[in-house]
Structures are given as structure tokens and as C-alpha cells.
Structure 1
Amino acid sequence: MLGVITRVLQSISYVTSIPEPGIRLLFAILCGYLLAWFQRDFLHRKGATVKHVYFSLTGFGLAYFCYGIYVYHSLISILVNYLLLAVLGGTLPVVVVSFIFNLGYLVIAYLVVSTDDYDILWTTPQCIMCLRLIGLAFDLYDGNRPQEELSKEQSQLCIKTAPSLLQVTSYTFYFGGYFVGPQFAIRRFQDFVDEKFLANTDGKPPDTTLPALKRLFLGVVYATVHTIVGSMFTTEYLTSQEFDNSSLLYKVFFVAVWGRILIARYISVWLFAEGSCILSGLAFNGHDEYNQVKWDGVANVRLRIYETTWAWKGCIESFNINTSQWAARYIYKRLRFLGNKMYSQALTLFFLALWHGYFIGYFVCFFFEMLCVQLENHVTALVAKSPRLQNFFSHPVVRPIAFVCSRALTISVMGYAVVAFTLLRYHRFSQVYYSMYYIWHWLLFGWIPLFYFVLNPMFRKPKSNASQEPEKTTEEKKTE
């Protein structure tokens, strides 16, 4: 049977020109729907141990199908992290050791096996595990801290006791999140296994088929767009002589569309994975104001916002949501002791870049993100200081024009940043930037002195006359 599946996948790979590792990964993610259906309908009301065994064995089987013997890297990570938590408990040194071990293991793996291309290797799930296991150590640490020291979020996600080896294995190998995410805390996973997410009072399996199929359908749409349109906007063309000889306006247009289509690949696999999480019941997120069940608890992309936002910040908040939330929860907010949001943001983005890999392109891309967010913050601050600007941008004629221009700029700069994220090495992506005359570099780096030395002083609110007048003495007040 396995041989037949392998030959079929090889044939699909040959016909579609998609590398076989990618086909195997997609097959494993889609198998999650069958496994989720079986778990939801046939393991309902079974004990937690039965489910943990099921998730461990099925996840391990799919991992072995995709990565063969290299699945032992996952087993090593699971065992080391379990021993850390079981032996040493929820302490700060354990968090530090877990952080160093998991991130160090991942970076060393990148150094050993990564190439200049987009690799689909055992390092793909390893990077997912890296965050999940670091977060596990943080959650146990929070559970052993005084309650008054915890934030509301930390109180909701912390755990008091170290999970068993079977629970850690199940949490790691769960088929809906092992391969490409999403990230979720172990507290959510435990509540899911304990059937606290049934979304009904009858004790029946949750009705998740329709919302799961919706995400599956949207995933197919994005995958189709990526396959068809992506064949016309290829990465290879960026470094071709034909691209270099094109006009600047065409290059800006091509990079903007190319980046958008490339990102559709990530969106499609996230939607596929989210659908299986919904079908199994893990994605339960309470009820809305109309008492309708929400199944977006592990959503990794909010398509309506992503496809309509005019701002870079909106893209960040609607794209790769769970990773961003993880970074905010376990990195950014834990750096408050620095006393500077800019430093915290920079270190968080540095971590995310290193988590993706050691190539300079990742760091350039995330540095662009930080600059874009700062530019938007600056523009927002300037508009807030000027009633004239507020009236101008709120004008019925100006508002749609400003929206279109802002959205076009956001998409263009995002594609420009993704060039470095995709080509990775400096000599490759710098060739593209050079041919585009570093157009968006000039905007982002030129904005900094323009804002601080020209625009900000120009729009600074003048002090009111009342504040400039000397305070009257008591005798003067009596005279009045």
C-alpha cells in the first residue's frame, strides 16, 4: 500500500513539477482530515490516554513517511525537553536551557543541511517544535510563579505540573500542527483532549465539518492561484537578464505581484492545516455575539483583513498570526525590563529571523518589517497632531485614493522585502535591489532623518497660551 502511494505521489510530482518532498508534505497535511474525522467520531468519550497514544502514533507515522529515519531528531527533542521539565520543574534556569537547546539544535541543523533554495526537510517541523517546546517550558515556569505576578494571558495558559512523556509526544506529533503549525499552547491541547471544546451541551462530538471544509476550499483556491499565476511570475526571472533590462515601473509591478503570489503558497498550507484542526475540534474559540460557535482558535491567517488592509501593521496582524502571537507572548512581552519598545521589537524580530535560518536575507526582511512599522507609526503620529491632515485624509474624495495608494505601497514594499527572504544570500537579492535602484531602501532609510529633523518639529503642537503665561500670585487672584 505504501509503495502504491509513493508511486502515485511521484507521478503527481512529475506532472506538476513540484518536488516530491513538497508533495509528501501536502499529502501528510491532507491526511490530517481523515485522522481528525476518525478521532472526532470514534474516539469521542474515550480516555485521554487513548487519544494521546492515537496522536503520537499517527503523527509519528506521517512524520516517518515524510522524513524517514530523520524523524529521530523530533524524538531527541521530545525526550530532552521532557527530562528537563520532569526532573528540574518549572524554573527560570529550565526556561533558559530549553531556549538555548531548542534554538541551538535548530540553528545547527540549518548550518548542516540547508541549501540556497526553499528546503522541505526534517528542519521544517523542527522549527515548529522549537517554538512549541520553548513555550511549554515558559508555561510551566509561569505555573510555578506567584499568581499576582502573572498577566491575564499567562494565568490562562500556564500549567502547574510537568506533562508526562506521552503527553509531550502527543502534543508535539499532533497531526494538525506538527508539519507547518499552527502554534498553540499545551493548555489548549489538554482542554481539547479532555473534550472541553464540544461546543454543545449534549455531550456529542462537535459539528465541525462545514467550517473545516470551508478552510480546505480556501486552501485549494490559494494553491491554485499560486500554481497558475506563479508560473508566470517565477523567482528565477528576478535574477534574469530580461528582468534587469526591464523598466523600473515594470520591476516594481512584477515584484509586487510575485511576492503576493509567493505568499499564497504559505497561506494555502496554513489553511489546509487549520481545516484539520477545526475538524478535530482543537480550533474551538467560544461563541460570538450572536451565540454562533467560532472555530478560529488556531487561525494562522485572517483572509478578510489580509486581502483588504492598507497598512503593513494590518498585514502583520493577519498573517502568520500564531507565530506572531507566540513571539509577542514569550519574547516581546518578556523584554519589558529593557524599558524600550523599540529594543524589544528589534530583539523579537532578530529572534524570528534566526528561527527561520542563518541566511542574511531573513534578517534583511525582518529589518524591513521593523522600518515599515516605524514609518506607519510616524505617519499616524503626524496626522494625529494636525487637524488639517485629519480633515484632508477623511475627505470623501481623498479617502479612497489614499487607501488605494497605501495598499499599493504596502504590497510593493512587502514583495520587495520578500525578495531577500526568498533569495537568502546577499549576492542574489542585492542583484535584484540594484537593478531596482534600491527604490524602497531610499524611502525607508530616507524617512528617518526626514521625520526626526523636518516633519516632527514642523508638526509639533505649539504650547497653549495658558501654559505660557506666568502663574498669577495670590494677591492678583484676590484683586480679580
Structure 2
Amino acid sequence: MDHPEYLDPPHYDGSRLFFWVSKASGVPIDLVNFVIGQLFALLFAAIYRTAFHPSKASATKRHCAALVGGVTLLYFCFGRHAYLVMFLTGVSYFITVFFPAKYVPQIILPLSLVYMGCVHIRRQLMSQTGFSLDVSAPVMVAVQKVTSIAFAWKDGSEKDQDKLTPLQKLQAVRKIPSMLEYFSYILHFQACMTGPTVLYKDYIDYIYGTNYRKHIKSEDILEDSPCSAIPVQDPSPTKAVITKVVVSLIHALIFICICPMFSVGRFKDEEFFVSTTFYQRMFYIIIVTTLARSKYYHAWLLADAICNASGLGFNGWDENGNTKWDLISNVKILDIEFATSFRDTLSSWNIGTMRWLRYVGYERATFNPTVATYILSAVWHGFYPGYYLTFVFGALLTGVGRTLRRHVRPHFQSTSSSRKIYDVLTFLGSRVALAYVTMPFVLLEFWPSVRVYSSLYWYLHVLTILALVAVPKIFPAHREKMSTKSKGVQESN
């Protein structure tokens, strides 16, 4: 097969059925397959919501349809490498069934992390040949699910339920899932590619149609329905789906058409440092990192739209009576781009992973919960050095954010004008800090990242350390009641 390596990565094992689209668009076949696969999943989601509605189809049929759709999608995008996801699922189910419940998470968590680590290492080796999209993303999603259900099964078997947190009690599983239920949960087509991760109890509520019961009044229940929890008229996801698809496609176009104009590869070119000033470099970093987020926005919004189109993700109504379809949403774009603190940025980014980190990491840590959660998050992401440069400095920025909020913010709360000034300053500071800290995450490599930071004189690292030391001494302490337990996980990814 004589295709350009850029369009047809040599180690990619997915379908070449739509390679003509790659040739026409100049987009690699792996990315073309991802988009086409997700668009077909969106179409199937609409069919699934009507043809396999809980009032028409049994739970078994709904499980089978979701599972077959997921396996087909994985095989289309990754070929035989899709078995890496299925193998992890099978091994985890075997452990869940044949080992005592209290030991299941102790076995599955480290085992799945090691397994995922091997997949990450493989990806890093393949990426040297220009390999872009591989099965590591579905494996990462599967790891979140097999570990969360492992802990949910342990919680459900816990004799002293008072030891559990409210979230653990809510998600506790008291009966081992059948093989069909387990595989359907891990591999269902709505979220097997990039998430969002839905916890097992929420997924089962969706399969049986009981996810609406939490949000409707008893007089709205159709008593003679095969499933008594189905409301007379299901809330329509159409508006939410259209909105998310449109915004997702806009970000896809940004990624395809604009991102190449601001290549991260320039950071590896010595000419870049010779021909630019300090402020030009910082501005370029802001542009590159902002544009780099577009691929995540595209993938997460499209996956969220697929879930919503199939009826998954309903979260009740707001105070104005509008439906909310954000139960498992992974991202809040406006909250990220207009955040006034690093903490607020993190709380709106990769929300499903935040929920998972809290559920399996922060609430169960046997040592410093924040540190333990940062470690879990870092290992889950992989082993590119750039990730760790971002996570380590991100921890420092988190500390600075707490310090500024405690010692500086109260001095700007006396008037509305001073509050606005503080918000503007923190907004601008957050934009600069977000770009600075995520640059290694985008660049991935260690020495090129160090070279960029050196060209900027490590200025934000220096200012961060100075702020941690000097701000408490310059500004008087201001006591505020703070819930460390509730905040820590938001600062861990």
C-alpha cells in the first residue's frame, strides 16, 4: 500500500475504507476514522433511543445493542488492537467474580494501571513514527470504568456502611453484574472511545429507564408502561445534541485549519528563539496552548452529544424549566476560557476524570489525598515528561491560588469596583498561567520544554515561589472556612 506515511501511519491497524477522504482532505486516516466513527455513533444513538427505548426493548436487548455498537466502533478505528480493551475488560471481570470483594479493587487498580502503562509506552514508541491516534485513549477510559466498578462492588459488600462517603453509598453495587452487564458498561458505544466516564449505577439506571425517576413527579409516571419509571413524554435532547455537535465541529475545523498555522514544533527550532522577543514567545505560547484545547473540546463535546442523543446524560431541569443534559459532560468551555482562577479552570476540564479521581483516589487515599490524587492522575495520563512538568508546576500554582485567595482577595471585596478589578486581574493572570503551565503538556518532551522555559527566564516559576513565601507576610491573614476535602480533587488533574 503506497500511501504517504503522514496520511497512513504504518502502525495504524484501523479500517482504510475511507482513505479517499484522507487523500482529499489531507487529514490522516486515523483521525478521519475517529470522526466518521463518532458521527456514525451519533446516528446510531438516535436510532437506539427510539428503537431500543426501555418501553420497547428489554434491558438485555439494550445491553446487547450498546455492546455490539461499541465493539464495532473500536474495531473500525483500531482493528485487532481493539482486543487490548476487551482483554482488560475480561480479566477485570474474572477478578471481580472469583476474588473476595474487599480484595477486588486492590488487585484491579494496580493491575490495570500497569497494563495501561504498557499501552502508554507502546504509544510513545509508535509516536516517533508520526503515529497520532491509537487505542490508548479507549484503554484509559476502560481503566476508569473497571476500577470504579471494583470499588463500587467493594463498597456494596461493606458491612459498616457508615464508613462510606455519600458518593460511595450512592454508587455502591450490591450484586455482581452479569457478564453482559459488565461488558456493556465498559464497552458501550456512546463512550468507549474518549469517554465521558459514567459510573456503573448511573449506567444501569439509564439501561432500565429509571434515570428519569429522580427528576419527575409521581403523577407524571405512566402506570401501565412495561417500565413504570418512564415518564409520559421523555425530555428531548435535540437542542442539547445540535448545540454540542455544532460547537464540536467548529473546534474540529479550528484544529484542522488553524492549529497547523501555529505549530508546536516551532518550540524545537532554535530560529524561533533567535527571531522572537520575550513577549512574542509568551504570546505564541498562549495561542498554541489555546488552539491545542480545540481537539479535546471537539472529542469531548461530540462524545457528550452521542450520549445525549441516546438518552444518556439527562440531569433534570433548571430553575427556568429548561432540560439539563450535563450529568456526564466532560468539559465546560466558557468556564475554562473565562475562569478567574487556576482552580476554576481545572474544575471545568475533563470533569469525568475529576469525578473518577475523587471516587477511586482522593476519598480512599491512605496518605496525603491531594498528593496521592496527583500521582494517580499523572500515571493515568502516561509517561511523557511534559505531563510531569505540567503536573508538578500545576501543584505549585494550586498552592499560590489558595494563598492569593486567602490573603489578597479579601482586600478587594469592599466595593464593586475593586471586585471587578480583582476579577479582571485574576482572569488575565489565569490565562497567562494556564498557557505557561500547559506548554509542556502540549510539547510533551522534556528538553524542548526546558528550553522554552529558559528562554522565558523561568519567570512564572520564580514568581510562584516568591508569592508562596512573600504574600502571607505582606498581606494580613484572612480566615475563611474552607473545606479541604471538597476542594482537593478539583486541584488534582
TM-score normalised by the chain length of structure 2: 0.85
Alpha-carbon contact 1:274-1:298 (below 8 Å) kept: yes
1-side partners of 2:478 and 2:234: how far apart? 60
1:220 pairs, out of 223, 227, 249, with 249
Native 8 Å contact 2:400 2:464 kept in 1? yes
Partner Cα separation in structure 1 for residue 383 and residue 342 of structure 2: 25
1:316 aligns with 2:324: no
Shift of 1:435: 1.9
Shift of 1:450: 2.4
The corresponding residue for 1:473 is none
Which of these residues, 30, 44, 49, is aligned with residue 40 of structure 1? 49
Local SS of the residue matching 1:297 = coil
* CA distance in 1 between partners of 2:468 and 2:338 (Å): 27
- Provide the rounded CA distance (Å) in 1 between the counterparts of 2:344 and 2:40: 32
Give 1:11's match in structure 2, choosing from 17, 20, 23. 20
Answer yes or no: is the 8 Å Cα contact 1:285–1:293 preserved in 2. yes
Correspondence list, 1:53-64, <5 A: 53-64=64-75
Q: 1:413 to 1:460 in 2, by over 3 A?
A: closer
Alignment check: 8 A CA contact 2:262 2:287 kept = yes
Contact kept in structure 2, 1:182 and 1:299, CA below 8 Å: yes
TM-score of the superposition, structure 1-length normalised?
Answer: 0.87
SS at match of 2:101: coil
2: distance between equivalents of 1:16 and 1:72?
Answer: 30
Q: How does 1:387-402 map to 2 (within 5 A)?
A: 388-391=411-414, 394-396=415-417, 398-402=418-422
Instruction: List alignment gaps of at least 5 residues for structure 2.
Output: 1-13, 222-230, 480-493
Contact residue 383 and residue 390 of structure 1 kept, 8 A: no
Identify which of 443, 446, 451 aligns with 2:463. 443
The one-letter code of the counterpart of 2:362 is Y
* Match in the other structure for 2:183: 169
Out of 16, 22, 27, the residue aligned to residue 31 of structure 2 is 22
Alpha-carbon shift at residue 276 of structure 1 (Å): 0.6
Alignment of 1:78-227 (within 5 A): 78-91=89-102, 93-114=103-124, 115=127, 119-145=132-158, 146-198=160-212, 201=221, 202-204=231-233, 206-227=235-256
Once the 2 structures are TM-superposed, how far is the Cα of residue 404 of structure 1 from its aligned partner?
A: 3.0
Q: Tell me what 1:408 maps to.
A: 428
CA distance in 1, matches of 2:21, 2:269: 29
Greater shift, 97-106 or 399-408, is seen at 399-408
1:221-277 Cα distance to aligned partner (Å, 9 max, x none):
222233333132211122223421200011111101211110111011100000010
1:126 positional shift: 0.4
CA distance in 2, matches of 1:268, 1:312: 22
Cα deviation, 1:424-458, whole Å, max 9, x if unaligned, reads 22112112212222222222233233246x33xx5
* 1:399 Cα offset (Å): 3.9
Partner amino acid, structure 2, of 1:417: V
Asked which structure has the greater CA Rg, the reply is 1
Q: Deviations over 1:315-364 (max 9, x none)?
A: 111111111111112211212x53xxxx3212211211111111221111
**SS of aligned partner of 1:301:** coil
Unaligned 5+ residue runs, structure 1? 463-480
* Closer/same/farther in 2, CA of residues 400 and 227 from structure 1, 3 Å limit: farther
Aligned residues of 1:40 and 1:205 also touching (Cα < 8 A): no
Picking from 260, 264, 271, the partner of 1:235 is 264
Moved more, 409-418 or 274-283: 409-418
Contact kept? 2:244, 2:302, Cα under 8 Å:
yes
**Contact 1:182/1:322 (<8 A) preserved:** yes
| RMSD, matched Cα | 2.2
Taking the aligned partners of 1:323 and 1:383, their CA distance within structure 2 comes to 31
Query: Residue 367 of structure 1 aligns with which residue?
Result: 392
2:450 to 430, 435, 438: 430
2:261 match: secondary structure: coil
Query: How high is the sequence identity, in percent, across the aligned residues?
Result: 22
Residue 465 (structure 1) aligns with: none
SS at match of 1:294: coil
**For 1:232, what is the secondary structure of its paired residue?**
helix
What is the alpha-carbon distance in structure 2 between the residues aligned to residue 127 and residue 167 of structure 1? 20
